[in-house]
Structure 1
Amino acid sequence: MTNDQRVAIVTGGARGLGAATALRLARDGMAVAVLDLEESAAKPVVDTIVAEGGRALAVGADVADADAVTAAVARVEAELGAPIVLVNNAGITRDNLLFKMTELDWDSVMGVHLRGAFLMTRAVQRHMVAASWGRIVNLSSTSALGNRGQANYATAKAGLQGFTKTLAIELGKFGVTANCIAPGFIVSDMTRATAQRIGEDWETYVSARAAQIPVARAGVPEDIAHTVSFLVSEGAGFVSGQVIYVAGGPKA
């Protein structure tokens, strides 16, 4: 099977890392379902893909809602074909120090990251098993190693690494690989929100973070998209259960 016969789903695909990944997979030849909480938010990415001659579909769904996930995957199958590539990128932050963190802060982050990845993967894996070929990429973070003010986010991102390794063990015999990307500092809406939360000027914040990175620059969404492109390729079939830190150096 060639890329132009493969269908991918990218969750949280309306902006940032998800949008860059959706565009890259489309340019690699795949049909791409761009899934986000609001279908309208995903439409500009889909329009870009279509304008470039690709096939794409905007899908609105809450990945933490089991019924919504089932309906979304069924729609992708009906309109694009059976999805056999899944990028679990959807994520939110509800940062706060532990003593200020509410139960809703905790549950919301766990719901999108962990429950969402579980529900999406459970729904899509049957198509992969039927095809005897599949690629799953989960987005973790260097925050999985611990990060002040992110007890919820760090826990969720660490959990995704364990989830990934278990998927690799369970699904490998069906021709399905599962890998995890842990981005370091990436210029995105999410990191802008972090700078705003801690009261730092954005440009100053980026410069300070970049100065600590061995390659001496901040990451961009395309850095992650390139790595996803490799992991979902035919040539990456012997790479599974791995956590790849795309962070500009060996340390977070």
Structure 2
Amino acid sequence: MSISGQVAVITGAASGIGNAIAEEFASCGAKVVIADLARDKADEAAERIRSAGGTAVGLPVDVADREAVEKLFARAEAELGPVDILVNNAGISIDRGVRRITDDEWNRTVAINQTGVFLCSQAAVTSMTKRRRGRVINVASRAWLGWFGQLAYASSKGGTVSATRSLAIEMAKYGITVNCLAPGLIDTPLLRREPPEVMERLLQAQPMGTLGDARDVAWAARFFASPEAQSITGQVLYVCGGKSLFAQPAG
């Protein structure tokens, strides 16, 4: 599943799932752009890849800002070459029930999780269509199927799934595939901030009773990016330990 020599932009790649995808791609010979709001962490992540013998640059971006996104893709092409692979991974999760979530929380969630996918995809495919090839991989969440207290998050990730399907139809004639990953509970530093009692309830709701590893998602992303997936488009691949099939809230 060679992606050697290809240029990949991964948003939200300074840590967690995005970082695992960036490291996996770089280990396969891809030239990686670590795009993240946290400039210093993006630089550090890129330096780790370079220290391991890979090719990477860290670039700052707010995916909800059109000007910032356009600058990101211009710099990525200037430093590494035309973008072959886009991974829309940047996202936030604000857990609030419908009676508690504020306008600002709703708007920010949609801006990053949904508008960010639109802006980055638009910038990427504008170049890809000219070369009639490319891969767009969107990272949604199992939560798009619905979960307690995740009205904003689930809605935004549902929008990501719909965007995947629509963009796949539009880009098919150009040889560009667009697919979606839907992770469940993945062991990341962000998840580990949850109190022990919350983690226990989350694990009890998991059919497999375990957390996924960020590398599980990275391997799935590499498959979608590979030549072997050239006939796969508009699909959602769950990496969720079975939670997309069934989840029983603890207690």
TM-score w.r.t. length of structure 1? 0.92
Superposition map of 1:101-180 within 5 A: 101-180=101-180
- Show CA shifts across 1:1-34 (max 9, x none): x633210000000000000000001111100000
Q: Given that residues 16 and 188 in structure 2 are in contact (C-alpha distance below 8 angstroms), is that contact kept between their aligned partners in structure 1?
A: yes
Q: Given that residues 144 and 158 in structure 1 are in contact (C-alpha distance below 8 angstroms), is that contact kept between their aligned partners in structure 2?
A: yes
Q: Is 2:239 the counterpart of 1:246?
A: yes
Q: Given that residues 84 and 134 in structure 1 are in contact (C-alpha distance below 8 angstroms), is that contact kept between their aligned partners in structure 2?
A: yes
Q: Given that residues 206 and 218 in structure 1 are in contact (C-alpha distance below 8 angstroms), is that contact kept between their aligned partners in structure 2?
A: no
Superposition map of 1:174-189 within 5 A: 174-189=174-189
Q: Given that residues 8 and 86 in structure 1 are in contact (C-alpha distance below 8 angstroms), is that contact kept between their aligned partners in structure 2?
A: yes
In structure 1, C-alpha distance between the alignment counterparts of 2:152 and 2:198, rounded to whole Å: 23
**Structure 2 counterpart of 1:89, which letter?**
N
Partner SS, residue 137 of structure 1: strand
Report which of the two has the higher share of helix: 1
* Matching residue of 1:28: 28
**Structure 2 counterpart of 1:223, which letter?**
D
In structure 2, C-alpha distance between the alignment counterparts of 1:210 and 1:29, rounded to whole Å: 36
Partner SS, residue 244 of structure 1: strand
In structure 2, C-alpha distance between the alignment counterparts of 1:98 and 1:211, rounded to whole Å: 24
In structure 2, C-alpha distance between the alignment counterparts of 1:64 and 1:212, rounded to whole Å: 33
In structure 2, C-alpha distance between the alignment counterparts of 1:127 and 1:251, rounded to whole Å: 40
Q: Given that residues 208 and 241 in structure 2 are in contact (C-alpha distance below 8 angstroms), is that contact kept between their aligned partners in structure 1?
A: yes
In structure 1, C-alpha distance between the alignment counterparts of 2:127 and 2:200, rounded to whole Å: 44
Counting aligned pairs with the same residue, the percent is 36
In structure 1, C-alpha distance between the alignment counterparts of 2:207 and 2:28, rounded to whole Å: 30
In structure 1, C-alpha distance between the alignment counterparts of 2:172 and 2:6, rounded to whole Å: 19
Partner SS, residue 98 of structure 1: coil
Q: Given that residues 25 and 229 in structure 1 are in contact (C-alpha distance below 8 angstroms), is that contact kept between their aligned partners in structure 2?
A: yes
Superposition map of 1:206-217 within 5 A: 206-217=199-210
Superposition map of 1:1-20 within 5 A: 3-20=3-20
Q: Given that residues 136 and 177 in structure 1 are in contact (C-alpha distance below 8 angstroms), is that contact kept between their aligned partners in structure 2?
A: yes
Partner SS, residue 57 of structure 1: strand
Superposition map of 1:25-104 within 5 A: 25-104=25-104
In structure 1, C-alpha distance between the alignment counterparts of 2:198 and 2:215, rounded to whole Å: 20
Cα deviation for residue 244 of structure 1 reads 1.0
Q: Given that residues 86 and 121 in structure 2 are in contact (C-alpha distance below 8 angstroms), is that contact kept between their aligned partners in structure 1?
A: yes
Q: Given that residues 3 and 225 in structure 2 are in contact (C-alpha distance below 8 angstroms), is that contact kept between their aligned partners in structure 1?
A: no
In structure 2, C-alpha distance between the alignment counterparts of 1:210 and 1:31, rounded to whole Å: 36
* Residues 144/119 of structure 1: CA separation in 2 closer, same or farther (3 Å cut): same
* Matching residue of 2:226: 233
Q: Given that residues 188 and 214 in structure 2 are in contact (C-alpha distance below 8 angstroms), is that contact kept between their aligned partners in structure 1?
A: yes
Q: Which of 211-220 and 226-235 deviates more?
A: 211-220
In structure 2, C-alpha distance between the alignment counterparts of 1:54 and 1:134, rounded to whole Å: 21
Q: Given that residues 132 and 176 in structure 1 are in contact (C-alpha distance below 8 angstroms), is that contact kept between their aligned partners in structure 2?
A: yes
Cα deviation for residue 76 of structure 1 reads 0.2
In structure 2, C-alpha distance between the alignment counterparts of 1:161 and 1:246, rounded to whole Å: 14
Partner SS, residue 148 of structure 1: coil
TM-score w.r.t. length of structure 2? 0.93
In structure 2, C-alpha distance between the alignment counterparts of 1:95 and 1:206, rounded to whole Å: 15
